[in-house]
Amino acid sequence: MKRVLVLLCLVIVALLMTSCLPGDGRNSAERPAGFLWGVWHGWIAPVSLIVGLFRDNIRIYEVANSGWWYDLGFYSAVIAGFGSLSLIRKKEK
């Protein structure tokens, strides 16, 4: 029962993460992606990369964005997400 619950949770999380991928048509020139979308897209960049291999319209980076603010959010999330991996690794003494 525990395995089924964990699998169900993983499927739900995967569906939620892929529902807001860059290039999904949610953003346009009239409604560009802003800072918070940049943060979200930075966090899910690895998922976007994998899904983008199978779907042509999905990208890692949203093209219809607000410019500098989107970039700041995106790169902050990428650096914070991947840079923090070094903090949880065991250090040899």
Q: Where are the domains of the chain?
A: 20-88
Pick the closest to residue 25 from 51, 60, 63 (CA basis).
63
Q: Is the pTM of this model over 0.75?
A: no
Encode pLDDT of 2-61 as tens digits: 888 888 888 887 777 667 778 777 788 888 988 988 888 888 888 888 888 988 888 888
